[in-house]
């Protein structure tokens, strides 16, 4: 009888197996780092020596019946992270001493993970048994019936396996197997090892763990069975002969044995069969799942379903093609067409020789770029070569390809009509229409005219298709706006009519274009500086001379280094940084580097960002300059300026504003001007590795080339020149990591500080615009006129969402575009009285109480270690020094933020300006300028007003007073009528605050939002003192804020009556405060615990206030973890003077538990929906291996960009040494979803997409009504006389939004996108099958709803208030 055992896990397997007598096994290797990373050991269990990992028992058939082979191996547990680090350090030191030091982590992974045969992977499952469960089996092993089987203590202590010392012991083990088999069966009850505190997590065979398969001749079926078949074994025949009972083996273990025996055919067929075993633990129950990512198809024997929807290879290929396209585009701009051609050819040929590598050139746009570049030169042969490459790569020609061919014909000295006819014939044979070529292609420069001339010469009667008719909205929620007559929709006015004449706007537009072409805006700093003295003048002169020398040095060094790099990389065809260093003139790079010098010299002395951040930031500045330069090179700037001048008429012509919205008018102008280059051209953003590579190259020059004469800064008369590098590198320990930083030399800091520069420099896309933004009409262009602006702020590597946006029909995204355009078209002005007060306070050491950042000089001085101090006192001083240094860094950051904000505001003091808007990946809207906008703090909001004022009307003054009281936070639980009455009672204090804000009673300073309160006080004073308050022209926005908006959406989704009442979806006479409600419930639970004698409950008596739990309640809906919530509550407890701080941490933990318990009881439906979101995301990312995605109710596709990314670091032939840093390893070897982030982020991200949809719906309907509307997420702003209308629109759109079956639509989308076809499931009871069925079931199982009537929202005063 042949016996087979399967080893599921071995610690240091090579040594263990050498000591054991196991011959038939599936061998899994894993290092302790992987153990800890996968969650297989925990800090509370790694030190317990009795922790063990188990093997399974199997039944194997034989001629004389079935015998049981049960083997149990106890393994030494993995080390804890701290132990692992200590041992690593010891081994590193030992290796260094013997002269063989290596990167231990690298060699360890290679030794423990990289296996003999890398192409074969098998099913592995990792199980951790609980200590108490395994103790029973240990006792069985020590049973007197087999006392000779005691463990070898020496082996156990050294990580060894209990093994049979002799053949006699082996026989005794077999004979005694029946005695302890029942105990083992108890542990394996129901086919799953029960888990209590210790959790066995998912381990992917594709990521950290691979298995080494024993040769098939060591793991075979009984000889009698082989002789009967005479054929090669398969997984089916193995399973058939094994006849494994589910009572003794889990289905995971069955699959292991079947697949191990079936590996013979898999190896012969040279195919890959990979499984991933999952074990999930939740609420004490364990469900085992298995996911097959790719399956070998043996001769009809395999029953496992192939996952055809796994898109990870496609995602990797998409990232590769995007990166290659950026490189080719840069090569063409740098006039390196031959290099671009050679690189594309290299990757096409490489894909043919290495088909498994995800680097196939599959984007037709890459080939078209090269073809157009050759076509402009009239090089027919090269264009033909490009088309041959396309055939080799399996890429079909499209309209753009044939446009390049026609451009090539037209670029020749004499038009070759024969060639042109041949091209035309091929185009039509492919089923393409030549008339559609101009509507389906993008053109640069005079390309369109050349293509038209070529086609016209071949076919004189040629007439291109007219532009396609504009389509209306496709989203159901806004389709009614397609037919709605804007004149009849109650349009009152526009936020911009009457502000300027067309000529004035055109002048402002020219100023904006000029600034964007320059790339920078100089802003005078508002920081107070002493009057100029001789020393300052001298320092400015030294700085000016130094900058001239630096400029010359940088120019020479840049040219020299680019030339060296070009020589070193001349023989390589892979993607590298060289073309990105040639897309601009050398002077432009030098200018950018000089700006970086000043930026670093004026940065914080106590904090420096890591070099990667610096590299990326510098590379981004180069890319922004390049994006503008591309428009100049393509002759696009003149066309855009001409169209923009015509577009500005929209803001002065009331007829146009009534007939069209901004996007429609812009599109009509584009249709009327078809000649010249295409305006909506895709802007090819540089990937992070390109930005980093460019930044690294430039920083290398800055660090190694620039020097400063430190002697010139000395005051002594005799000065011997002494040159020092202006930058140096330091390495700082940050936790367990070493952080590399670049610091300026103190002499450079002294020079810039002494020169006291009066101006701050900002990129033009970081400040507001002087004229209205370009409306978004596609995903490619909008916002700033010439500067770079992206529709969605996608993080690096998030190429999948961008691809979905590009593929979406244009009208699908029109609601999103129009909402952004409406928000961006709102003009603003500065509230000068408030700005003056803030600047005065800022230059007078600021105020922490009023949220005006004080300077670093206000930070306490560092304490000193004095003689005679004890060791403990010295340690306390060191801790205090560290805390003060951190405080200084924080204060300097806040001070710089305030300086930038106030300086920009002062720069636009007398101007009207606009904020262009864009989105984050969830659909939430943000202004593009980061330093100064209405999403900022209390100070930022208080210094902004609408540029166009409106009469207050009948109730406008009342709304300002109500807002004033809302901002103070004094009457949050009182009805609106009482708030208004309280404002009238406090009118004396309000007027005093307006008249004497810094010298009077200062009532406004006690407000929650003091500066906005002061702005309201001033406006109330002006209105009440005007002859007719109803006709007073008010520019101050009035806010209406959602009542815990995230919970409002959850309550509406679940129709949760109790939850809806708590968050004011239900109409009440007084506002309901969910924060106070939760605090009350927590207090009730605390009282019960205090009566039971729990100490911490008694300590917390009298300290559970609304403010303590508010932030946690607010953020729990957005996915805050218990640990994060504990830190939130800890901060609140530390701010309470009377609370005993020794109990702060323990009290925070107690309150977190009670807060979450209270929320679960209060919002039952919310918790069910949140759990469903989490489980769906977990299964999608874990089982499907894909990121979660969905489409918002307004048509915006969303993909969660959370991945575990591994970059392939590959050697490049002919490139050695430091030059390898400039070869861009863009090929991604692995891009898999981060399961933890995917599941934790999906609930808050989906809710954010809903609140954004609600805001956009409100925005679109406010635009139709002609009222000003601006939002700060769930806080809506408008003029005081329009609050009632905006409130009505806001409630109507919320009800309409949630009247749609949102959860059912989400479920249907996920089922269509991620579910398995039921017909393809084997229904064999395997874990693979169970997992897939569970995925299908969960995605389709929409949580039940309550009976809340959404129409109640229409009558709720405090829904938004």
End-to-end CA distance of the chain: 81
Helix (H) or strand (E) holding 20: none
C-alpha–C-alpha distance, residues 112 and 115, integer Å? 8
Residue 213 phi, psi (nearest 5): -85, 130
Nearest to 122 by CA among 230, 23, 25: 25
C-alpha–C-alpha distance, residues 936 and 931, integer Å? 8
DSSP character string of 309-378: T--HHHHHHHHHHHHHHHHHHHHHHTT-HHHHHHHHHHHHHHHHH-TTSS-----HHHHHHHHHHHHHTT
The percent of the chain in helix, strand and coil, each rounded to the nearest 5, is 55, 10, 35
Q: What angle do CA 893, 897, 901 make, to 5 degrees?
A: 170
The 3-state secondary structure of 741-781, one letter per residue:
EEEECHHHHHHHHHHCCCEEEEEHHHCCECCCCECCCCCCC
Q: Which residues are catalytic?
A: 1041, 1110, 1274
Q: Is the dihedral of CA 444, 450, 454, 460 positive or negative?
A: positive
- Do 1267 and 1282 touch, CB atoms closer than 8 A? yes
Tokens of 110: 């290679």
C-alpha–C-alpha distance, residues 1223 and 318, integer Å? 20
Q: What angle do CA 850, 853, 857 make, to 5 degrees?
A: 125
Burial of 1106 (0-12, 13-18, 19+ CB in 10 A): middle
Say how far residue 1056 (Cα) sits from the centre of its chain: 32
Tokens of 1009: 């939002």
DSSP character string of 878-913: HHHHHHHHHHHHHHHHHHHHHHHHHHHHHHTTT--E
C-alpha–C-alpha distance, residues 1056 and 1074, integer Å? 14
- Do 1280 and 1270 touch, CB atoms closer than 8 A? no
What is the length of the chain? 1361
Tokens of 1201: 């960009």
| Region of residue 454 (phi > 0: left; psi between -120 and 50: alpha; otherwise: beta) | alpha
- Do 226 and 47 touch, CB atoms closer than 8 A? no
Helix (H) or strand (E) holding 60: strand 57-62
- Do 800 and 321 touch, CB atoms closer than 8 A? no
Helix (H) or strand (E) holding 178: helix 177-187
| Region of residue 378 (phi > 0: left; psi between -120 and 50: alpha; otherwise: beta) | left
Tokens of 657: 């504003």
Give the largest CA-CA distance in the chain.
Answer: 111
- Do 1335 and 1314 touch, CB atoms closer than 8 A? yes
C-alpha–C-alpha distance, residues 340 and 327, integer Å? 8
- Do 38 and 203 touch, CB atoms closer than 8 A? yes
| Region of residue 1102 (phi > 0: left; psi between -120 and 50: alpha; otherwise: beta) | left
Q: Helix (H, G, I), strand (E, B), or coil: what is residue 967?
A: helix
C-alpha–C-alpha distance, residues 437 and 166, integer Å? 82
């Amino acid at each position: 009888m042949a016996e087979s055992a399967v080893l599921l896990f071995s610690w240091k397997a090579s040594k263990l197996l050498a000591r054991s007598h196991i011959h038939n096994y599936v061998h899994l290797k894993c290092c302790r780092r992987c153990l800890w990373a996968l969650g297989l050991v925990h800090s509370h269990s790694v030190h317990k020596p009795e922790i063990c990992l188990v093997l399974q028992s199997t039944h194997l058939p034989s001629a004389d019946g079935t015998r049981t082979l049960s083997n149990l191996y106890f393994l030494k547990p993995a080390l804890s992270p701290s132990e692992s680090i200590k041992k690593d350090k010891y081994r590193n030191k030992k290796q260094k001493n013997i002269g063989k030091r290596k990167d231990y982590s690298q060699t360890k992974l290679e030794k423990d993970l990289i296996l003999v045969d890398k192409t074969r992977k098998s099913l592995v499952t990792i199980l951790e048994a609980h200590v108490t469960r395994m103790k029973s089996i240990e006792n069985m092993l020590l049973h007197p019936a087999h006392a000779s089987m005691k463990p070898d203590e020496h082996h156990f202590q050294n990580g060894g396996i209990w093994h049979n010392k002799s053949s006699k012991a082996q026989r005794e083990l077999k004979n005694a197997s029946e005695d302890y088999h029942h105990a083992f069966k108890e542990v394996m009850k129901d086919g799953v090892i029960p888990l209590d505190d210790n959790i066995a997590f998912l381990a992917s065979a594709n990521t950290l763990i691979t298995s080494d398969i024993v040769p098939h001749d060591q793991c075979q079926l009984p000889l009698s069975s082989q002789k009967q078949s005479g054929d090669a074994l398969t997984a089916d025949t193995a399973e058939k002969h094994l006849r494994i009972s589910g009572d003794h083996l889990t289905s995971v273990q069955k699959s292991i044995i079947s697949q191990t025996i079936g590996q013979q055919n898999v190896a012969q067929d040279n195919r890959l069969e990979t499984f991933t075993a999952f074990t999930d633990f939740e609420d004490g129950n364990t469900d085992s799942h298995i996911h097959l990512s790719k399956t070998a198809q043996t001769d009809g024997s395999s029953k496992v379903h192939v996952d055809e929807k796994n898109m990870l290879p496609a995602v990797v290929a998409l990232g590769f093609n995007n990166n290659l396209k950026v490189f080719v585009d840069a090569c063409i701009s740098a006039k390196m067409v031959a290099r671009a051609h050679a690189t594309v050819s290299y990757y096409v040929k490489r894909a043919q020789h290495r088909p498994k590598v995800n680097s196939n050139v599959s984007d037709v746009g890459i080939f078209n770029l090269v073809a157009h570049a050759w076509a402009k030169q009239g090089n027919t042969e090269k264009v033909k070569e490009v088309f041959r490459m396309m055939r080799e790569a399996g890429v079909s020609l499209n309209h753009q390809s044939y446009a390049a061919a026609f451009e090539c014909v037209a670029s020749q000295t004499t038009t070759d009509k024969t060639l042109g006819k041949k091209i035309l014939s091929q185009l039509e044979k492919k089923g393409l229409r030549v008339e559609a070529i101009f509507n389906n292609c993008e053109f640069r420069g005079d390309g369109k005219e050349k293509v038209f001339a070529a086609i016209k010469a071949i076919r004189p009667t040629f007439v291109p298709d007219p532009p396609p008719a504009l389509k209306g909205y496709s989203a159901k929620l806004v389709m009614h706006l397609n037919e709605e007559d804007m004149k009849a929709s109650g349009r009152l006015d526009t936020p911009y009519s009457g502000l300027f004449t067309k000529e004035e706007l055109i002048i402002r537009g020219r100023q904006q274009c000029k600034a964007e072409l320059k790339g920078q805006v100089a802003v005078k700093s508002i920081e107070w500086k002493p009057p100029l003295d001789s020393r300052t003048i001298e320092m400015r002169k030294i700085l000016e001379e130094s900058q001239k020398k630096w400029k010359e040095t940088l120019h020479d060094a840049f040219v020299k280094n680019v030339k060296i790099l070009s020589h070193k990389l001349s023989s390589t065809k892979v993607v590298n940084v060289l073309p990105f260093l040639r897309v601009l003139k050398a002077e432009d790079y030098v200018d950018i580097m000089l700006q970086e010098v000043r930026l670093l010299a004026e940065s914080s002395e106590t904090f420096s960002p890591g070099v990667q951040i610096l590299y990326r930031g510098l590379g981004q500045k180069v890319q922004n300059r390049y994006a503008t330069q591309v428009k100049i090179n393509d002759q696009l700037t003149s066309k855009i300026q001409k169209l923009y001048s015509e577009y500005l008429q929209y803001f002065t012509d009331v007829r146009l504003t009534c007939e069209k919205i901004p996007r429609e008018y812009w599109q009509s102008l584009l249709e009327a001007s078809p000649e010249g280059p295409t305006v909506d051209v895709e802007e090819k953003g540089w990937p992070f590795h390109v930005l980093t590579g460019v930044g690294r190259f430039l920083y290398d020059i800055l660090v190694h080339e620039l020097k400063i004469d430190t002697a010139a800064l000395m005051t002594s008369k005799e000065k011997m020149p002494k040159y020092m590098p202006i930058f140096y590198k330091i390495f700082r320990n940050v936790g367990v990591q070493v952080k590399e930083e670049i610091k300026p030399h103190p002499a450079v800091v002294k020079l810039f500080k002494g020169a006291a520069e009066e101006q701050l420099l900002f990129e033009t896309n970081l400040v507001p615009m002087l004229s209205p933004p370009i409306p978004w009409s596609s995903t490619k262009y909008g916002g700033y006129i010439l500067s770079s602006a992206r529709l969605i702020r996608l993080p690096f590597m998030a190429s999948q969402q961008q691809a979905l946006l590009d593929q979406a029909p244009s009208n699908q995204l029109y609601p999103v575009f129009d909402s952004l355009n409406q928000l961006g078209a709102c003009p603003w002005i500065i509230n000068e009285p408030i700005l003056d007060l803030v600047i005065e306070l800022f230059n007078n050491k600021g105020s922490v109480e009023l949220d005006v950042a004080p300077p670093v000089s206000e930070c306490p001085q560092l304490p000193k270690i004095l003689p005679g101090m004890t060791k403990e006192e010295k340690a306390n001083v060191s801790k205090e020094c560290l805390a003060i240094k951190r405080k200084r860094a924080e204060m300097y950051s806040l001070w710089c933020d305030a300086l930038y904000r106030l300086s920009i505001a002062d720069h636009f003091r007398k101007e009207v300006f606009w904020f262009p808007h864009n989105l984050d990946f969830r659909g939430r809207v943000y202004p593009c300028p980061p330093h100064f906008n209405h999403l900022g703090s209390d100070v930022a909001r208080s210094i902004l007003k609408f540029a166009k004022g409106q009469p207050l009307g009948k109730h406008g003054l009342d709304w300002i007073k109500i807002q004033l009281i809302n901002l103070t936070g004094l009457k949050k639980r009182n009805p609106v009528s009482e708030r208004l009455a309280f404002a009238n009672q406090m009118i004396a204090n309000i007027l005093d605050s307006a008249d004497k804000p810094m010298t009077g009673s200062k009532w406004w300073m006690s407000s929650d939002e003091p500066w906005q309160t002061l702005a309201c006080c001033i406006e109330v004073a002006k209105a009440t003192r005007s002859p007719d308050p109803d006709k007073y022209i008010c520019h101050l926005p009035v806010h209406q804020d959602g009542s815990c908006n995230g919970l409002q959406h959850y309550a509406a989704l679940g129709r949760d009556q109790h939850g809806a009442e708590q968050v004011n979806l239900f109409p009440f006479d007084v506002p309901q405060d969910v924060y106070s409600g939760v605090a009350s419930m927590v207090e009730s639970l605390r009282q019960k615990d205090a009566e039971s004698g729990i100490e911490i409950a008694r300590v917390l008596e009298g300290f559970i206030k609304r403010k303590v739990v508010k932030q946690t309640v607010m953020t729990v809906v957005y996915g805050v973890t218990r640990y994060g919530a504990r830190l939130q509550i800890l901060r609140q407890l530390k701010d309470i003077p009377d609370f005993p701080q020794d109990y702060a941490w323990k009290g925070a933990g107690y309150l977190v538990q009670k807060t979450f318990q209270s929320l679960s009881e209060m919002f039952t439906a919310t918790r069910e929906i949140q759990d469903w979101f989490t489980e769906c995301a977990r299964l999608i990312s874990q089982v499907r291996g894909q990121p979660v995605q969905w489409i918002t109710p307004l048509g915006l596709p969303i993909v969660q960009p959370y991945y575990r990314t591994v970059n392939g670091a590959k050697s490049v032939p002919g490139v050695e040494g430091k030059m390898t840093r400039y070869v861009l390893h863009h090929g991604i070897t692995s891009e898999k979803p981060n399961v933890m982030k995917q599941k934790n982020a999906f609930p808050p991200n989906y809710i954010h997409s809903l609140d954004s949809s609600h805001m956009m719906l409100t925005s679109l309907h406010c635009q139709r009504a002609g009222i000003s509307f601006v939002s700060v997420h769930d806080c809506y702003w408008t003029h005081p006389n329009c609050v009632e209308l905006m409130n009505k629109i806001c409630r109507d759109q919320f009800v309409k939004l949630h009247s749609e079956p949102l959860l059912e639509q989400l479920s249907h989308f996920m089922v269509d996108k991620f579910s398995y076809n039921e017909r393809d499931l084997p229904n064999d009871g395997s874990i693979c099958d169970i997992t897939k069925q569970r995925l299908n079931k969960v995605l389709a199982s929409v949580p039940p709803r309550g009976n809340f009537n959404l129409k109640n929202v229409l009558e709720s005063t405090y829904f938004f208030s």
